[in-house]
Structure 1
Amino acid sequence: METLSTIASLRALLRPHRAAGRTLGFVPTMGALHEGHLSLMRRAKAECDLAVASIFVNPTQFAPTEDLARYPRDLEGDRRLCRSVGVDALFAPTAAEMYREGAATWVTQDDATARCLEGEHRPTHFRGVLTVCLKLFQIVQPDRAYFGQKDFQQALLVRRMVRDLDLPMELVVCPIVREADGLAMSSRNRYLGADARRQAVSLWRGLDKARAAVAVGERDAGRLADVIRSEIVAAGPCEIDYVAIADPETLAPVAVVERPVVALIAVRIAGTRLIDNLLLAP
């Protein structure tokens, strides 16, 4: 596996493979890798001739009050993990490499789907996410890019960007990978102390109880949201940004569950912001 830090060196490495008609799978990450990331890399390797991953803690998707400075970083450990699952090339650029001085071009989506949920609580977040994703897609030029379902709204918006800008690639969204007790794997789980880690499982318990309620006939979205919220609040002190039952294509609120919906939550526990979601089918 080669590790490259410049756009020019990555393009030079990939050029002959692309010219030979080899397919390229791409997994963009911010590092602090866990089994969720590795599952994406394994799938890219299984479905494409080459697997490329990136590690870049993207400063433009963090607000000034967020955790950019303390976001977990372990490039050497991440390199070992990438190598262990067969990644062929790892792109690990600096911020200066990705954003030239005076850069003034951004990708935005300004509609209800982008403004709700994460867009409401982190209003500058998706501008940074979409911009860096487009830049990475332009640099790597993958046939397929692999994203996790945990960042449900992000994957939805990136898929729309790929469609709207006619990018010649496929976006593959893969299932959430969970710990044995149900907690969705996340790099930010590293922030959790023992008590907060135990409390964090309440997100999954709430989602699972909502699924069970749907299975026995509950169709009122408000009551389903209350089931989730009650489970989280009962587990201990927290700050809930949102609990939503929404259309999985538009994220518009749903009042009655008559077709598949997605339950989405964002909660702060002991200062750590966690997100999770689950598709619910009547």
Structure 2
Amino acid sequence: MHLVRRIIDVRNWRSKCVEKTVGFVPTMGALHRGHLSLVRSARSECEFVAATIFVNPTQFGAGEDLSKYPRNEKSDIELLKNEGVDLIFVPNTQELYPKEDRFSVIPPSNFTQRAEATARPTHFAGVATICTKLFNIVQPSYAYFGQKDALQCVAMKQLVADLNIPINIRICPTERESDGLALSSRNTYLSPSERKAAPVVYKGLLAARHTWRQLSSSQQEPISASILIEAARNIYQAEPLVSSVEYISVSDFDSMIDLEFVPAASSSSFRTFSTGICDDDNSFLSLPRSIISVALRIGQVRLIDNLPLRE
């Protein structure tokens, strides 16, 4: 295991395995089982695995949680070491952003119209910039991301395609607690009572999908997205600790562009969905066409989640 903090040391390491496949897992630390599942997916198909621990300041907006974001560098390094990660890159901010006046990667204008990008208008420019930098530094064969951050997954696929970056993006399933709560480093912000209420996020998504399936059993016509959104909203409104709902969105799985109508489950317009540890354009030839996603607050804690309507 190589623990490095300088870009030049990453490049020296990469030069020694230039003929090898490298799987890359970028993280902001505060690692949990979801991150480790990405590492294991990388290990299963790559000869070497690299990971980063870096809390990226450019993806936090004004008033967000940059200063209090959980940082557990020592334990994170130990977890990655135990998973057999070959390279752990832990830079400081000065190493990656030595100048205040610098170029950035800006998503296309229509990207900001999608629900999560509207809610966090500066976030995806920060994500696109740091990932482009890390892709250039590490030069991996594959990069691994979790489905929980659905729009980020779409952004990464479009980023490497539009900028001709020779990396395969792998999207891996959301890891959940036994009660359905999607794993997130921000779950540590929840108080005991908030944590008890937090599975409502997933319950609302399940209610929307159940409604879609019920309606699909009795009709062939497309189903209004507003009906599914209302089914989820009713669940959230019944939970007193849900302080606000930022958005509930029914969108196209591949683009995260909002849909007004969703094909019924029995519609032949659906593409078949194959399941596995990861999906990508090569191994899984088709994806569910629609997905429902949500951002809400339990108390002051912002949680996001999503669920494909067809699995």
Q: Please confirm whether the aligned pair reaches a TM-score higher than 0.5, indicating the same fold.
A: yes
1:183 pairs with 2:181: yes
1:38 alignment partner AA: L
CA distance in 1, matches of 2:102, 2:81: 35
Q: State the TM-score, normalized to the length of structure 2.
A: 0.87
Q: What's the offset of the Cα at 1:192?
A: 0.3
User: Which residue does 2:266 correspond to in 1?
Assistant: none
Q: State the TM-score, normalized to the length of structure 1.
A: 0.96
Instruction: Name stretches of at least 5 consecutive residues in structure 1 with no aligned partner.
Output: none
User: How many correspondences in the alignment?
Assistant: 280
Q: What's the offset of the Cα at 1:197?
A: 0.7
Q: Which has the higher helix share?
A: 1
Of 160-169 and 258-267, deviating more is 258-267
Residues 112-158 of structure 1, C-alpha deviation per residue, up to 9 Å, x if partnerless? 23332121111111110000000000000000000000000011011
CA distance in 2, matches of 1:100, 1:232: 44
Alignment of 1:224-263 (within 5 A): 224-237=228-241, 238-258=243-263, 259=270, 260-263=289-292
1:217 alignment partner AA: L
Give the alignment's Cα RMSD to 1 decimal: 1.3
User: Which residue does 1:4 correspond to in 2?
Assistant: 4
Identity of aligned residues (%): 41
1:277 pairs with 2:306: yes
User: Which residue does 1:71 correspond to in 2?
Assistant: 69
User: Which residue does 1:124 correspond to in 2?
Assistant: 122
User: Which residue does 2:13 correspond to in 1?
Assistant: 13
1:81 alignment partner AA: L
User: Which residue does 1:267 correspond to in 2?
Assistant: 296
CA distance in 2, matches of 1:169, 1:116: 25
Of 252-261 and 155-164, deviating more is 252-261
Q: What's the offset of the Cα at 1:100?
A: 1.3
SS at match of 1:216: helix
Instruction: Name stretches of at least 5 consecutive residues in structure 2 with no aligned partner.
Output: 217-222, 264-269, 271-288
CA distance in 1, matches of 2:84, 2:239: 40
CA distance in 2, matches of 1:228, 1:87: 39
Q: What's the offset of the Cα at 1:221?
A: 1.1
CA distance in 2, matches of 1:84, 1:181: 27
Q: Cα 1:111–1:102, aligned 2, differ >3 Å: closer, same or farther? A: closer
> Contact (CA 8 Å) 1:220, 1:257: kept in 2 or not?
yes
